[in-house]
Amino acid sequence: MSEQYDLIVVGSGAAGLSVALGSGGGLRVAVVSRGVAGLDGATCWAQGGLAAAVGQGDSAGQHAVDTITAGARHNHKSAVRWMTESAPDVLRWLLAMGMQFDTVNGRIALGREAAHTFPRILHAGGDATGAELARVLREAAMRQSWIDRHEFADACEILKHGNQAVGVLVRNRRGEQMRLLAPSVVLATGGIGQLYRHTSNPAEADGSGLALAHVAGAELVDLEFVQFHPTALSPRADDPSTQLPLVTEALRGAGCQLINDQGARFMVAASSQAELAPRDVVARAVYDQLTRGNRVFLDVRPLGDRVRAQFPNFVQICAQRGLDPRVQPIPIVPAAHYHMGGIKVDLHSMSRVPGLYAVGEVACTGVHGANRLASNSLLEAIAFGKALGERLAQRGPVAPITRVDPVVGHAARAESTNDQMVLGRLRQLMWSDVGIVRSSESLQSALGQIQVLERRCLAGAPVLRQLTTARLIVEACLRRRESLGAHYIGGATHAHWSPRSGQAVA
């Protein structure tokens, strides 16, 4: 069974819906999502905000400098400058659709987060920016008759004719397969956090989009740069979930401090920027404390009752765990959070496969370099997504796709219990050997074990996509022998901390 479109978008977060809405009604668009469109993926979980240099004394140029500094100067400078200059237009677009940003005295409030030299972070609902953004984009998309939603559908393969991408093979929750055909296919499938035992990412962020692109012939770059958020709420011993509640960085921007169980502020010694240092620096400092056998806490008590108004989502999460941040420090751990690498695309979001595009976290525009600056991800997703939709709309509708090559991918059947067991083993392996601190020994060990898992998997197993992506990440880590940004090479041997046991293990 086949259906024809002008544009197919795989993923329904900020990036994917921005592409669909940016096309403006001149094209027939299909949006494919694993769950409910606009509600699955990472966008609705974002507690941080949207970075935009719109405050007094600030500038797109300074925003670009901060972005490149945080990215260890590994960034694509032209992409950075374009993105920071696009921020005011993105803001106007969102406001026109009805997004409700937080205000002070009738003006949009601007907060400050790590490594930003000016307050330039726009929030909505305190720490619920992602939820408000998802609401706005979802409601806008649902009003458009030219956007078809294929919900609870898994993209199994990029369909091609010769070298050209011409559609997507999808499977619905009943196991039925369908070919969606279009001359333009956009991957907006998000990140890779679910490849790790502890992550802030939802279930959909499992690296499948990278595997789809790899099989289709796209180039993947900078896969070694995985950002670990330094502050996620420590897991309960009885909680099997891999997704941990994020403790927003804006809390540190508001003056909250990291302490160990002796009450010492260890970030003062770790960086001149202390709690506002780039995320990789903070994450390694937290990790170092944990491997020394110390517990780590975020001390929110200086905010007092203000925390309820400024960070209601955080307070609610703490209450669910029986914690009150007004009177006690909150236990935290690092968690896999954001992937700077991805499908290599140019300034127009084009991959090297004709007809195949990528936006958002699955793409590598070069904006983030070796380490993403806080709150740049939503800006990048919307700016590049909206621009791509507008660009594709300028071409107008095209002739239907009539020829498609045979399916060649390896994700043809439904997920099984064995797939979940393999994925569980992979997550622990990635956490312990390809995590915050790496060594050549740990990476070689991980590569060998992943290759064994790949050989043992049955043909058509969906988990092969995660194994493929994980192997490509490890291979990229091995190629980069020096530490850079979020890719940190430690000694020949090092301890790995297990949040469940609370102990450092060799």
Per-residue pLDDT reduced to its tens digit, 85-144: 999 999 999 999 999 999 999 999 998 887 899 999 999 998 889 999 999 999 999 999
Same structural domain, 42 and 144: yes
The DSSP code sequence of 357-393 is EE-GGGEE-SSSTTSPPTTHHHHHHHHHHHHHHHHHH
Torsion sign, CA atoms 60, 66, 71, 72: positive
193 close to 41: Cβ distance less than 8 angstroms: no
| Poorest-pLDDT segment among 9-18, 232-241, 287-296 | 232-241
| Poorest-pLDDT segment among 77-81, 179-183, 446-450, 452-456 | 452-456
The residue that leads in pLDDT, 225 or 40, is 225
- Reduce the DSSP state of residue 67 to 3 states and report it: helix
The overall average pLDDT reported for the chain is 91
Same structural domain, 315 and 437: no
**Domain end call among 286, 310, 334:** 334
What domain range is 312 assigned to? Answer: 229-334
- Asked if the structure places residue 358 within a domain, the reply is yes
Rounded CA-CA distance 439/174 in Å is 44
**Domain end call among 310, 334, 358:** 334
pLDDT band at 242 (very low <50, low <70, confident <90, very high): confident
Active site residues: 279
Q: How many CB atoms lie within 10 A of CB 350?
A: 17
- Reduce the DSSP state of residue 39 to 3 states and report it: coil
| HSE-up (13 A, CA, CB side) for residue 158 | 33
Q: How are beta strands 356-358 and 185-187 bridged, if at all?
A: parallel
Same structural domain, 319 and 345: no
- Asked if the structure places residue 409 within a domain, the reply is no
Rounded CA-CA distance 251/310 in Å is 9
Rounded CA-CA distance 223/364 in Å is 9
pLDDT band at 413 (very low <50, low <70, confident <90, very high): low
pLDDT band at 266 (very low <50, low <70, confident <90, very high): very high
Q: How are beta strands 257-260 and 342-344 bridged, if at all?
A: unpaired
Rounded CA-CA distance 166/5 in Å is 10
Return the residue matching tokens 């619920």: 128
252 close to 276: Cβ distance less than 8 angstroms: yes
- Asked if the structure places residue 159 within a domain, the reply is yes
Same structural domain, 385 and 434: no
159 close to 355: Cβ distance less than 8 angstroms: no
Same structural domain, 163 and 29: yes
Question: CATH code at 316?
Answer: 3.90.700.10
Same structural domain, 241 and 381: no
Same structural domain, 250 and 382: no
**Domain end call among 295, 318, 334:** 334
Number of domains in the chain: 3
- Asked if the structure places residue 65 within a domain, the reply is no
Same structural domain, 219 and 135: yes
- Reduce the DSSP state of residue 248 to 3 states and report it: coil
Per-residue pLDDT reduced to its tens digit, 292-338: 999 999 999 999 999 999 898 899 999 999 999 999 999 999 999 99
Rounded CA-CA distance 234/474 in Å is 26
pLDDT at 493 over 90: no
Same structural domain, 209 and 234: no
- Asked if the structure places residue 255 within a domain, the reply is yes
The percent of residues in the chain predicted with pLDDT above 70, rounded, is: 95
Quick one: tokens of 248?
A: 């927003």
Same structural domain, 202 and 346: yes
Same structural domain, 284 and 364: no
- Asked if the structure places residue 440 within a domain, the reply is yes
Main-chain dihedrals φ then ψ at residue 330, nearest 5 degrees:
-105, 125
Closest by Cα among 212, 153, 217, 198 to 464: 212
Per-residue pLDDT reduced to its tens digit, 462-481: 899 999 999 999 999 999 99
Question: CATH code at 484?
Answer: 1.20.58.100
pLDDT at 252 over 80: yes
- Asked if the structure places residue 284 within a domain, the reply is yes
The residue that leads in pLDDT, 48 or 376, is 376
The residue that leads in pLDDT, 220 or 494, is 220
| Poorest-pLDDT segment among 129-143, 162-176, 423-437, 487-501 | 487-501
pLDDT at 42 over 50: yes
Question: Which residues lie closer than 8 Å to 120 by C-beta, 6 or more apart?
Answer: 51, 52, 53, 54, 55, 58, 63, 110, 112
Q: How are beta strands 177-181 and 164-172 bridged, if at all?
A: antiparallel
Question: CATH code at 346?
Answer: 3.50.50.60
Rounded CA-CA distance 55/122 in Å is 10
Same structural domain, 203 and 299: no
pLDDT band at 491 (very low <50, low <70, confident <90, very high): low
pLDDT at 505 over 80: no
Average the pLDDT over 216-244 and give the result: 89
- Asked if the structure places residue 407 within a domain, the reply is no
